[in-house]
Chain A
Amino acid sequence: MLTLQCPYCGVMAEETELHAGGEAHLKRFGPGSSDEDFETYMFMRENPKGVHFERWRHVNGCGKWFHAARCTATLEVFGTYSAQVSEPPQQIKDAITAKRPGWSWRNFA
Chain B
Amino acid sequence: MTTAIAIDNLTKTYANGLQALKGISLEVQQGDFFALLGPNGAGKSTTIGILSTLVNKSGGGVEIFGKNVDAHVYETKLDLGVVPQEINFSQFEKVRDIVMTQAGYYGMPRQLAAERCEKYLRKLGLWEKRYERSRTLSGGMKRRLMIARALVHEPRLLILDEPTAGVDIELRRSMWEFLTELNEAGTTIILTTHYLEEAEQLCRNIAIIDHGRIVENTSMRALLAALDKQTYIVELAAPIRALPDWGDAPLSAEFIDEHSFEITVDARLTMSDLFKLFLLHSVEVSALRSKSNRLEQLFLSRLDGARGGDEHVVQP
| Bound pair (A, B) | no
